[in-house]
């Protein structure tokens, strides 16, 4: 029931989140209750991908996920440390290619691509990575550097 605390493991740390109203989104729980502001609110309607986090290893829109609907889930956000090798790899590729300007959309891109790497056992084809990234909007890079980061992920030897 809504009154119960919601257990969540976020970036390896166990939390029991209390007093969460039924309509609250995972996005808001992460940002406002747990203080993890790396996950961004964009359109709040599933169209921009800025809020993507991993839920049990899978890229998921946190703006369309009710916190009460994922009790016990393992959540990974952009704040995760190097223990998540996929996230670390994507972050490094973005840094090496300078694949950001304002950075607002970057956490969503990184988690979307890291989710695909998790699904595919760390190797994913360029086309599949680009299709996944198609769910994320960037309004300032023009995407060229992001595509280069994707190509780096698809071709680097792992």
Q: Which two tokens stand for residue 5?
A: 């605390």
Nearer to another protein, 2 or 96 (CB): 2
**Interface with another protein (CB under 8 A), residue from 55, 87, 117, 153:** 55
Least Cβ distance, residue 14 to another protein (angstroms): 21
Residues in binding contact with another protein, number by CB under 8 A: 30
CA distance 84 to 110: 12
The residues, any chain, with a CB within 8 Å of residue 52's CB and separated by 6 or more, are 59, 60, 61, 62, 107, 108, 111, 112, 115, 135, 136
Regarding 142 and contact with another protein (CB under 8 A), the answer is no
Can you tell me which residue has the tokens 């969460």?
A: 20
Of 7-15, 43-51, 99-107, 138-146, the window that binds another protein (rule: CB under 8 A) is 43-51
How distant is the alpha carbon of residue 31 from its chain centre?
13
Asked whether position 106 contacts another protein by CB under 8 A, the answer is no
Interaction of residue 136 with another protein, rule CB under 8 A: yes
Q: How many CA atoms lie within 13 A of 26 on its CB side?
A: 28
Residues at the interface with another protein (CB under 8 A): 1-2, 21-23, 45-49, 52, 55, 58-61, 64-66, 68-69, 112, 115-116, 119, 131-132, 134-136
């Amino acid at each position: 029931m809504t009154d119960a605390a919601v257990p969540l493991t976020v970036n390896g740390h166990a939390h029991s989140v209390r007093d969460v109203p039924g309509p609250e989104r995972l996005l808001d729980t992460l940002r406002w209750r747990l203080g993890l502001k790396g996950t961004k609110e964009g359109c709040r309607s599933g169209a921009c991908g800025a809020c993507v986090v991993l839920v049990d290893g899978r890229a998921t829109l946190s703006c369309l996920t009710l916190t009460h609907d994922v009790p016990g889930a393992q959540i990974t956000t952009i704040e995760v440390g190097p223990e998540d090798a996929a996230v670390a790899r994507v972050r490094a590729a973005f840094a090496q290619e300078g694949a950001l300007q304002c950075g607002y959309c970057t956490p969503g891109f990184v988690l979307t691509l890291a989710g695909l790497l998790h699904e595919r056992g760390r190797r994913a084809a360029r086309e599949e990575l680009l299709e996944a990234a198609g769910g994320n909007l960037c309004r300032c890079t023009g995407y060229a550097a992001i595509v280069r980061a994707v190509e780096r992920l698809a071709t680097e030897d792992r």
